[in-house]
A and B are shown apart, each in its own frame.
Chain A
């Protein structure tokens, strides 16, 4: 289904610019042709395999988009994998989801049991042996993406083609994207923020997607915006913090009409300074990996919350004075977790509403978040499963026990911290290196404290207030 929709969009918009990166700009016609060529190459590499599963793990680029569209066109199911995933994580995903092929960069730590093959474009391709006992895909699944999970490893969400299409179409309609837009996206395409706000939604309306890669520093973002004539900017809070770090903001950005940040907490001072400096409203995106984009504020400068439900979205939450768990029913809902059977279904009530981990209320129809029920850590828009990181830390030599928590660092920013139980002479750098060899860099705690034992309450839960106090005073690594 997606293939037909995307092909229709590519052929409708012809010679308009479709996607660009630092070095390449492809019109819709060129993107269509490039995807065709790549699809032919992919099909030749996967002869005889049923609904081949193609992982894509790479930085944002025009070639990434070509590979994604080609995988769909070749009858494959693309799995969009965080580029930052560590070697152990990538191998776990490949084996747990039964990937046939991985499209990746030269530097990607590819599982060793794969075979490197020749492929067109700048990206590399590695093929893996067939796995007859791999988990079966739902018959309607067309795309898979990952969420941080809460049980020790990323969960793979299966999406129907209709759900992917509705997420994009509802976002485009609800936020008013038009063919005149140029959308600059610095969020990784594997992330829901980029996937839902930028990828397919851009192509449905004939707009242009300018992809940023690399760190979103103020200098890089400002240059990209000015060079591309951007009308929309998509990025994580760190991007906006960078833009105002000089104390005065980037100044007027002609043509820019809208800026969107992920739902990770955005410092109100950052938001105010950005808006005052640029005159551009800064919108908080609210979406859930499992349910797609959910709200939009027509004017974020006056909206009391995260905005109204997008088309195709129904929200339930508490009322004034009585916040409640936010539940959502959307047309863009994931079907299930490929590698965690039954877990997603357990979070959907009999009416089809998915229970998010957020608590909030509806005020004049706008969603106002007031807290969370889950313990997922959010560092700059990246969700981190504390169980996954503490399990990895506890496996390091000399570590008897580990607790991972989110703290506010000396810059006033959320940071990942760990308290480790071990001997006084345990070098905190060693367990950090141990984790760095296994998990994505952003899952390595920035701050570490060593204690003889983890203080726990009578129920066995870590005494987090006591643990947090360990970070009140900066310390050198012991």
Chain B
């Protein structure tokens, strides 16, 4: 998986939307400055989203230590890209 934000961002947006209970659209996220708390993203949706990121992208997101990075799409993209780069460096 390429660790570039341009590549990861649409992937993450799709996962965020599909993990919500329903209704949530990309337009809603954009209108909320891409903030998940602003759209009242539920904890169950967060769990589904993190599981899916781990299952599809193969990176571990730590809910205890990294939750500050879960609040916006931008921060989430940055975090996932960082983990992907770390994994790629470790594999190299």
Chain A interface residues (CB < 8 Å from chain B): 22, 212-220, 223, 238, 241-242, 245-246, 379-380, 409-411, 413, 415, 429, 432-433, 436, 441-442, 444, 446-448, 471, 474-477
Contact = CB atoms under 8 A, between A and B. Distances in A.
A432 B62 CA distance: 28
A409 B27 CA distance: 21
A476 B55 CA distance: 27
A238 B55 contact: no
B23 A448 contact: yes
A242 B47 contact: yes
A217 B42 CA distance: 14
Interface residues of B, number: 33
Interface string B13-49: 0000000111111011001100001111011111110
A429 B50 contact: no
Contact of B63 (A220, A415, A432): A220
B20 A446 contact: yes
Contacts of A214: 62-65, 67
Given A219-B60, A245-B55, A441-B43, A477 B50 contact: no
Nearest to B20: A446
Interface of B: 20-25, 27-28, 31-32, 37-40, 42-48, 50-52, 54-55, 60-65, 67
Contact of A442 (B38, B43, B47): B43
A446 B40 contact: yes
B64 A246 contact: no
Contact of B50 (A217, A379, A474): A217
A411 B62 CA distance: 23
Given A217-B47, A411-B48, A446-B40, A474 B63 contact: no
Contacts of A475: 23
20 contacts: A214-B63, A214-B64, A215-B46, A215-B47, A216-B63, A245-B51, A380-B43, A409-B22, A411-B48, A429-B28, A441-B43, A442-B43, A444-B40, A444-B42, A446-B21, A446-B22, A446-B42, A447-B23, A471-B22, A476-B23
Nearest to B50: A217
A383 to B, nearest CB: 15
